[in-house]
Amino acid sequence: MSQSKRQSSDNAIGARLREWRSEKGMTLAAVSARTGVASSTLSKIENELVSVSYYTLKRICDGLDIPIEEIINPDHKTFAPGRRAVTRANEGTVFRCSQYVYETHSTELSRKEMIPLIMTVLARTPDDFEDWNRHDGEEFILVLDGEIDFYSEFYAPVKLKRGDSVYFDSSMGHMCCSSSEEPAKMVSVCYDPRAHQQQDVSEFFSSGRLTVVRAE
Amino acid sequence: MSQSKRQSSDNAIGARLREWRSEKGMTLAAVSARTGVASSTLSKIENELVSVSYYTLKRICDGLDIPIEEIINPDHKTFAPGRRAVTRANEGTVFRCSQYVYETHSTELSRKEMIPLIMTVLARTPDDFEDWNRHDGEEFILVLDGEIDFYSEFYAPVKLKRGDSVYFDSSMGHMCCSSSEEPAKMVSVCYDPRAHQQQDVSEFFSSGRLTVVRAE
DNA sequence: CCAGTTTTTGTCGCATAGGAAACAACCGCG
DNA sequence: CGCGGTTGTTTCCTATGCGACAAAAACTGG
């Protein structure tokens, strides 16, 4: 096959590299100098005449200060099926577990990177929980109403009042208890590195990343 | 070098693949069946006796449903310097631009995946803006006080009252105007695929991904 | 239009990634 | 013990990625 078109199975990496280079107005030689990869090789990679090795690809990205993800993962995934979703107050889908009532917003958008929840805290003491809550990623909580005692591993409990917020590594065990008269209310936004692979929130709930018992 | 230890320049990819596999309790043959990569090859890759090609690596990750980033980018970055940050109401760092007042929370944690902001909307009509707001990633907005007219490209404007929320692709032009007596207040959480690479929020602001003029 | 220069592409040789199959190391289990 | 069955490793071989160098193309300015 001397030099014919080959498997473009490394979906358009070459094209993306070339695009990057032309944007920067660099020559192959310049890229070669910065990355240590031969310019002939670069040419072949850009034209997808070879299937670049991971090691070489990494050298290129490192040398050029490109986050390798940018070259590898072009799935600039826009979530489906639209690009916007509005949820009216108290009109989200409600899930209930023993200690929280979750109201999920924007459920009609799947593949979101973040999971927004309006939560009502029923628990009043840590003893109400069997175990820590724990899920991959990060979480942001802002108290909307009432008062919350926020417990987490490695840290002392902290009391959160309306308007206070906490941001934390959610793989660290955590739990919220209401310390006010009425059940406290808060907005929680979770980021899970894998969340956007899921179709919808219920999958997120049922994946075990969030412990929830029954929907209604 | 027949079969001696080679360049581990593809920093521990093999180790990470092996770890993944042993967690799942799968055999090389099973992985081979799902990925189409020969088990002998898998063995060599895991033991880092070869420098895997990108194409093969992708086949493996795709077949196993591993986000390739997870294998490539092991900086399982826990944000620094702690794992939790509490911000009291009205005690965040305030940035001001012509149409919004941003109060950023959890600023002491860098490399967060999400950027939480309490925003006060000053603008009252779309004409107050020179252009759409636009930044990579996704954004979730929940109205805390007052009333907001949410404008975005491709969609009709929508009025949001207290407790209403909107989730949208923030690369789509968008803007918020206050339609209530007093300036409206909302919480906004942005996810930017590159945010966590940044040291702190001001970098996010100054990167041009969010247009903000001066801090105070 | 044509040297002189820069930039890209092609050629060739060598090292090596990857697949098939043989081999080794472990298992119970009779 | 020995013997199928399973799992991981090594061997052998071919296909091919990569670098050095050469040829070709694309830009120069005069």
Query: What domains are there in chain B, each with its CATH number?
Result: 13-72 (1.10.260.40), 93-215 (2.60.120.10)
Query: D17 C1' – A195 CA distance, angstroms?
Result: 36
Q: Which of A171, A183, A163, A175 is nearest to A128 (CA)?
A: A175
DSSP A80-120: BS-SEEEE-TT-SEEEE-SSEEEEE--TT-BS-SEEEEEEE
What is the model's pLDDT at position A177?
Answer: 92
Rounded distance, CA A97 to CA A122, Å? 9
What is the model's pLDDT at position A194?
Answer: 67
Rounded distance, CA B13 to CA A127, Å? 42
Query: C3 C1' – A13 CA distance, angstroms?
Result: 38
**How many residues can be counted in chain A?**
216
- Which tens digits make up the pLDDT trace of A19-46? 889 888 888 999 999 999 999 999 999 9
List chain A residues with CB under 8 Å of B85.
Answer: 166-168
First to last CA, chain B: 62
Hits for CB < 7 Å against strand D across A residues 1-40: 1, 6, 36-40
Instruction: Give the distance between the most distant pair of CA atoms in chain B.
Output: 78
pLDDT band at A5 (very low <50, low <70, confident <90, very high): very low
Q: Using the predicted structure, report yes or no on whether residue A11 has a pLDDT greater than 90.
A: no
Q: For residue B206, how many other CB atoms are within 10 A of its CB?
A: 12
- Which tens digits make up the pLDDT trace of A157-184? 989 999 999 998 888 889 999 998 888 9
Q: Fill in the DSSP letter of residue B42.
A: H
Q: Across-strand partners of A95?
A: A102, A215
Interface contact flag, B140 A116, Cβ < 8 Å: yes
Rounded distance, CA B114 to CA B105, Å? 11
Mean pLDDT of A96-100: 81
User: Could you give the C-alpha distances from B58 to A8, A20, B116, in angstroms and in order?
Assistant: 13, 21, 34
- Is B40's CB less than 7 Å from nucleic acid strand D? yes
What is the model's pLDDT at position A211?
Answer: 40
Q: For residue A54, how many other CB atoms are within 10 A of its CB?
A: 25
Under 8 Å CB pairs connecting chains A and B tally to: 187
List chain B pLDDT tens, one digit each, 216 residues.
333 333 434 468 888 898 889 888 888 999 999 999 999 999 999 988 888 999 999 999 989 888 787 788 765 455 656 778 888 888 888 888 778 898 988 888 877 888 999 999 988 887 888 788 888 788 999 999 999 999 988 888 989 999 999 998 888 889 999 998 888 999 999 998 766 555 455 555 555 444 433 322
- Which tens digits make up the pLDDT trace of A64-81? 888 787 788 655 455 656
What is the model's pLDDT at position A182?
Answer: 82
Tell me the shortest Cα–Cα distance from A105 to chain B, in angstroms: 7
Assigned token pair, B147: 């009333």
Q: Across-strand partners of A167?
A: A140, B85
